[in-house]
Amino acid sequence: MRQDTSYLLSTPRLGLRRWRPSDLEPFTRMNLDPAVMEYFPGMMTPEETAAMVERIDAFFERNGYGLYAMDLLSTGEFLGYVGFARPSFGSWFTPCVEIGWRLCHGAWGRGYATEAASECLRHGFDRLGLEKIYSFTAKVNTRSERVMQKIGMEPAGEFDHPSIGEGHVLRRHVLYVSTRNAGRSFLVR
């Protein structure tokens, strides 16, 4: 991981950057928090978290963008991530670029995910030249779906996540999309 702490993107309250080694400890705590991981198949071990951060860093190296580590500017506190990835599973809408987020429980309910995701969408279209960006979550995760709605994404359907077993409450997912020429206005700035 790079040691560079400069922000690649920022909003009035948040700084988005590449990951640092010091992010591993708070990110591991997040991934062991039952509230944070409620809509995932399970919590992540410290080893799984470290491997995920390595994959995020490798994605950045290949693509020049990815899942940005997010800090609260007023304190420098690591809050989680917001940014882009490519789903590793096959579906009717893949391959694609996905926008996603995961914040520590203490950062919920303050509009941080919406603020950072709005800036990421703007960056994805204006600077990265992406034509279409998707987002998805388990159908029961209405908080995350609400962020998708707040940042101007449009419903694009539902699907069964192929990595989650038949009959599991998390298998059914909602899918949202945003396109470069959607004519939407972003919430931040």
Where do the structural domains in the chain lie, given as residue ranges? 9-179
Supply the pLDDT for residue 6: 84
Q: 32: which residues sit within 8 A by CB, 6+ positions away?
A: 43, 44, 46
Supply the pLDDT for residue 5: 53
Asked if residues 77 and 106 have their Cβ atoms less than 8 Å apart, the reply is: no
The DSSP line for 114-146 is: HHHHHHHHHHHHHTS--SEEEEEEETT-HHHHH
Angle, CA 188 vertex, CA 60 and CA 114 arms, to 5°: 65
Supply the pLDDT for residue 187: 47
- In whole angstroms, give the CA distance from residue 69 to residue 5: 10
What CATH homologous superfamily does 9-179 map to? Gcn5-related N-acetyltransferase (GNAT) (3.40.630.30)
Give the global pTM: 0.91
Asked if residues 173 and 93 have their Cβ atoms less than 8 Å apart, the reply is: no
Query: In which residue ranges of the chain is pLDDT below 50?
Result: 1-4, 185-189
